[in-house]
């Protein structure tokens, strides 16, 4: 019994009781272990560039498909409407434009279609062709309205407000324009003078007269653009010189007509300088009357009779 070694349990000292670990320390240890595990895992390679390429290719394909559909299936003209036309029918206007149902709106040239209508129809002052996607076209017409009568080469042609030649039409009540020197009087042509400075003179006179309230203009003579004459009511001639200070000159003329010139008076007004105005009466041309002609014929007859009597008395009696 004395030779046996003592048991291990007897040799080891008694273990100390474990202290409880605080909750915060335990959580900190867990976080450290988790972080170590993450850092030890291999990283996945970044593949974002491949997705970008896929998106670009998809966008290109979609664009090609849309382009093909737009030029073949989509935006086909299904309706053509015409507004503002009374002199010409809608079918005539549509035919003149060259636009047809079934045409692709993307391929229709609005400006070219409008010019085609203008060149086809003389009594049209303005045309607008509008697209309404996906399938509609509207053609808006402004028809010609008589503006003034142009006298040239012994002919009287009516001009529209869009400055188009409408031909030799009734011009009752229209202001007569003389001395314009139009380059072409073909029906449907745009009015243009051989003297470029005369192109806008008539329009300027009409606009100024409207502003100052000058009415009853009957004739405008721009044969000499530095000595323009405007006739009002067929009896008052306004000598305005050039078109400078046009509105001031016509305002003075309007005041004279309202306050100083009688209703039946025939006068010529010098307005080259609106601050120095001269008014001169116009004497009507005198024509020989039938009574004066008869009196002259009677006097001649009497003279002839007297001469005949004298000749007779001078002859010797038989």
Residue 84 within a domain: yes
Q: What are the CA-CA distances from residue 299 to residues 66, 289, 302 (Å)?
A: 105, 16, 5
Q: What share of the chain in percent tops pLDDT 70?
A: 73
Residue 221 within a domain: yes
Mean pLDDT, the chain, rounded, equals: 83
Q: How far apart are CA 295 and CA 251, in angstroms?
A: 50
**Which pLDDT tens digit goes with each residue over 19-57?**
555 677 677 777 777 766 666 555 565 555 567 887 888
Q: What are the CA-CA distances from residue 107 to residues 70, 135, 294 (Å)?
A: 10, 12, 83
Domain count, the chain: 2
In this structure, the number of other CB atoms found within 10 A of the CB of residue 129 comes to: 21
Q: How far apart are CA 120 and CA 85, in angstroms?
A: 14
Residue 46 within a domain: no
Last residue of a domain, one of 143, 173, 199: 143
Q: How confident is the model at residue 308 (pLDDT cuts 50, 70, 90)?
A: very low
Instruction: Determine the structural domain holding residue 106 and report its residue range.
Output: 79-143
* pLDDT of 141 higher than 90: yes
Residues 176 and 120 occupy one common structural domain: no
Residue 187 within a domain: yes
Name the H helices within the chain: 8-11, 23-40, 48-72, 90-97, 110-120, 201-212, 246-259, 290-314
Residue 72 within a domain: no
Q: How far apart are CA 192 and CA 155, in angstroms?
A: 17
- The closest of 74, 78, 66 to 135, measured between CA atoms, is 78
**Which pLDDT tens digit goes with each residue over 251-287?**
999 999 999 999 899 999 999 999 999 999 987 766 5
Residue 68 within a domain: no
Residues 214 and 247 occupy one common structural domain: yes
Q: In what order do the strands lie in the sheet with 136-143?
A: 79-83, 136-143, 124-132
What residues have CB less than 8 Å from 83, skipping those under 6 apart?
138, 139, 140, 141
More confident residue, 23 or 155: 155
Residues 137 and 164 occupy one common structural domain: no
Residues 204 and 174 occupy one common structural domain: yes
Residues 202 and 85 occupy one common structural domain: no
Whether omega for the bond prior to residue 141 falls within 30 degrees of 0, making it cis, is no
**What's 130's domain CATH number?**
3.10.20.310
More confident residue, 185 or 288: 185
Per-residue pLDDT at 22: 67
**What's 193's domain CATH number?**
3.40.50.11690
Of 72-76, 81-85, 88-92, 144-148, which range is least confident? 72-76
Residues 154 and 268 occupy one common structural domain: yes
Last residue of a domain, one of 143, 174, 198: 143
Residue 163 within a domain: yes
Name the H helices within 87-235: 90-97, 110-120, 201-212
Residues 194 and 230 occupy one common structural domain: yes
In this structure, the number of other CB atoms found within 10 A of the CB of residue 93 comes to: 22
Chain mean position to CA 100: 26
Q: Which residues pair with 164 in a beta bridge?
A: 190
Residue 150 within a domain: yes
Residues 152 and 137 occupy one common structural domain: no
* pLDDT of 2 higher than 90: no
What residues have CB less than 8 Å from 106, skipping those under 6 apart?
70, 71, 75
Chain mean position to CA 127: 10
């Amino acid at each position: 019994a004395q030779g046996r070694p003592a048991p291990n349990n007897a040799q080891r000292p008694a273990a100390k009781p474990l202290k409880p670990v605080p909750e915060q320390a335990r959580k900190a240890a867990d976080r450290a272990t988790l972080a170590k595990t993450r850092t030890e895992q291999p990283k996945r390679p970044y593949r974002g560039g491949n997705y970008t390429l896929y998106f670009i290719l998809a966008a290109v394909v979609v664009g090609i498909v849309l382009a093909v559909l737009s030029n073949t299936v989509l935006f086909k003209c299904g309706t053509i409407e015409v507004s503002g036309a009374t002199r010409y029918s809608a079918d005539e206007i549509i035919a003149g434009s060259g636009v047809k149902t079934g045409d692709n709106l993307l391929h229709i040239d609005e400006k070219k279609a409008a010019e085609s209508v203008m060149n086809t129809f003389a009594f049209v002052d303005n045309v607008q062709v509008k697209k309404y996607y996906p399938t509609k076209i509207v053609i808006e017409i402004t028809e010609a309205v008589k503006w003034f009568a142009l006298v040239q080469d012994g002919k009287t042609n009516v001009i529209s407000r869009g400055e188009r030649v409408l031909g030799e039409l009734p011009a009752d009540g229209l202001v007569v324009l003389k001395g314009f020197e139009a380059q072409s009087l073909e029906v449907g042509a745009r009015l243009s003078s051989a003297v470029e400075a005369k192109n806008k003179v008539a329009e300027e006179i009409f606009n100024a007269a409207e502003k100052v309230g000058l009415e009853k203009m009957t004739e405008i003579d721009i044969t000499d653009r530095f000595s323009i004459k405007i006739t009002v009511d067929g009896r008052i001639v306004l000598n305005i010189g050039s078109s400078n200070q046009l509105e001031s000159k016509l305002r003075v003329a309007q005041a004279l007509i309202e306050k100083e010139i009688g209703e039946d008076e025939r006068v010529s007004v010098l307005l080259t300088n609106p601050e120095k105005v001269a008014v001169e009466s116009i004497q009507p041309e005198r024509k020989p009357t039938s009574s004066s002609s008869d009196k002259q014929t009677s006097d001649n007859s009497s003279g002839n009779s007297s001469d005949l009597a004298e000749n007779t008395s001078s002859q010797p009696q038989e």
